[in-house]
Structure 1
Amino acid sequence: MASDSQNSPFIKHLASSDKTTRDNALDSLRTYLSGRSQIEELDLLKLWKGLFYCMWMQDKPVHQQRLARDLASLIEVLQAGVVLPFVECFWKTMAREWGGIDALRMDKYLYLIRQYLNASFRYLSRDRWSNIDGITRVVQILENIPLHPTDMKIPNGLRYHIFDIYVDELEKVGGEKMEEVPREKLLEPVRRIQKESKVKSVRNAAKEVLDDERLKAWRGEGVGGDRDEEMGEHGDEDEEWGGIED
């Protein structure tokens, strides 16, 4: 992006309260990004500020979810040299703006984060997970920004949400070919934060991710143990227990 004077109208259109204006700006952005082989970090951060407020202004859940998917799909049109800087600036923006997101707007940003984590994994899966440099860089981005183990500027709420969705999104992307997914490498940010975080609740949340039974199953480890035997003896009479009734 050439200059502030050229950037500001474009970003203002992305953050417009008018849906048609925002949609047209997003279409223009998709065309613009597809033609760039390199974009400076400062310009990407300015762009992501505009995209953040584009989401901020979007109302109605169905439109919010569509916009989140559209923003995540931008990764698909980016040239190779722009993809990971673009993703990195997304995480920097979310970490910076998290504290200002009110409760009424939080759900749409949680969905946007889910879409971006999924899109990052899908990008790595394009070549059947053979892009070792890309995998290493994505792991570094996660370790250095949203899952940094000790940076107190990173909101724990952001960390907790990533923990909640991490294995889900790996499973969605890996599908029936989880044996091809470099799971242990991609789990390094979670493993590191579980060891190094100074906050007990964060360490515990990371441990829950690492103890996910799906990970054990993908490794070929036994899942369930005694509980499987107990279920065999007593059936599934408690399977649909819905919690404590009023």
Structure 2
Amino acid sequence: MAADERSMPFIKNLASSERKVRTEALTTLRTFLTASTTTRTLSPLDHLKLWKGLFYALYMADRPIPQQNLCAELAALVGILPDDAVVPFLRGFWETMSRQWTSIDVLRMEKFMLLVRRVLGASFVWARESGPIKTNKKSKNTKEATKAEAMLALLREWPIEEMGDLAKVAVGLRLHVLDIWVDEVERAGMTGESATDADAEFLQGLKAVVEKQIKSPSKPCRVRAKEGLSDERLPWNEKGDDEDMEEDGEETKDAEEKDGWGGFDD
């Protein structure tokens, strides 16, 4: 049975105008989410109720430092959830943000953009953990979904929705995710020297998701998708040593031909 407001009385307090009340409600929420048996019984509607409360908790927060701290705290909730509760929780987040995005006024937009960045980053960190999603049930499936596979499926469903349904995911939210995804995979350690083979595989899957946006009905989305995919931090854009040496040699040769002595004029 879905949890109602009687079992989640802290929801309305998350949107209180008093900071102390909101802080206490967030503490209660953490305790609530760490109870795995409770978290796993939440319905999609329950997750939407939770995120609506959390949305207004940030909406009511003022001053930069408290706003930044709250964004970090909300993103950190991903880390305390049981594995099989993470994707439903994040699905509620993305659906809530998609519904609310166009109603956010310009003075509050910056803190919600930060929240999206922090949650996306936490999602990549979770996806980087190896192995299948742990459940409290014995699965009869021969192959269980990994965290990376589940995260890619969620990204295809919501923030980088691949069918180009602009009524489902607002253009502004899509653009923001397309702007920041490379930053966040780098921050999660998926690029550079710390990257693993599993990271490379995940990035290839993410590449396929972003490439779908190149055919988006929104021109800005098409442009941002191409810009992100061409970022030099991504492994498929890295130059090999041989290529670098070849380019250096060509540049040296060009410089010598341009600046070198060409002999006596006739």
Asked whether the two chains share a fold, i.e. TM above 0.5, the reply is yes
Greater CA deviation, 165-174 or 175-184?
175-184
Deviation at 1:5, TM superposition (A): 3.6
> Quick check: 1:191 aligned with 2:211?
yes
Any conservation in 2 of the 1:16–1:54 contact (CA below 8 Å)?
yes
User: Where does the alignment leave 5 or more consecutive residues of structure 2 unmatched?
Assistant: 134-144, 256-266
Give the match for residue 211 of structure 1: 230
Query: Compared with structure 1, are the counterparts of its residues 16 and 220 closer, same or farther at alpha carbon in structure 2 (3 Å cutoff)?
Result: same
Shift of 1:217: 6.2
Q: One-letter code of the match for 1:31?
A: T
Please report how far the alpha carbon of residue 3 of structure 1 lies from its aligned counterpart in structure 2 after TM superposition. 1.9
Question: What's the offset of the Cα at 1:76?
Answer: 1.1
In 1, the alpha carbon distance for the partners of 2:238 and 2:11 equals 46
CA offsets 1:217-238 (integer angstroms, 9 cap, x no match): 6755558x9699769x99xxxx
Partner of 2:139: none
Aligned residue type for 1:80? D
The Cα of 1:157 is off from its aligned counterpart by 0.8
How many residue pairs get aligned? The number is 231
Identity %: 38
Match of 1:239 in 2: none
Residue 199 of structure 1, CA deviation: 2.1
* Distance apart, 1:130 and its partner CA: 6.9
Q: Contact 2:5/2:11 (CA < 8 Å) preserved in 1?
A: no
Find out whether 1:20 has 2:34 as its counterpart. no
Task: Give 1:173's aligned residue.
Answer: 188
Q: 1:141 to 1:71 in 2, by over 3 A?
A: same
Instruction: Give the Cα separation in 2 of the matches to 1:49 and 1:89.
Output: 9
Matched, 1:72 2:72: no
Distance 1:227 1:211 in 2: 21
Q: TM-score, normalised by structure 2?
A: 0.78
Please, which runs of 5 or more residues in structure 1 have no aligned partner?
A: 235-246
Cα 1:192–1:77 shift into 2, 3 Å:
same
Distance 1:87 1:227, change over 3 A: farther
Which structure dedicates a bigger proportion of its chain to helix?
1
1:178-215: CA deviations, max 9, x gaps?
Answer: 23312111222211222x31222211110111111111
- Structure 1 counterpart of 2:35, which letter? G
Matched, 1:33 2:33: yes
Aligned twin of 1:162: 177
What amino acid is aligned across from residue 234 of structure 2 in structure 1?
A: L
- Identify the residue that residue 152 of structure 1 maps to in structure 2: 166
Larger radius of gyration: 2
Tell me if structure 2 keeps the 8 A contact 1:178–1:218: no
Counterpart Cα distance in 2 of 1:164 and 1:63: 24
Please tell me the root mean square deviation across aligned C-alpha atoms, in Å.
2.7
How does 1:1-246 map onto structure 2 within 5 Å? 2-7=3-8, 9-37=9-37, 38=40, 39-127=42-130, 133-149=146-162, 150-153=164-167, 154-174=169-189, 176-180=193-197, 181=199, 182-194=202-214, 196-216=215-235, 221=240
Contact between 1:171 and 1:178, CA under 8 Å: does it hold in 2?
Answer: no
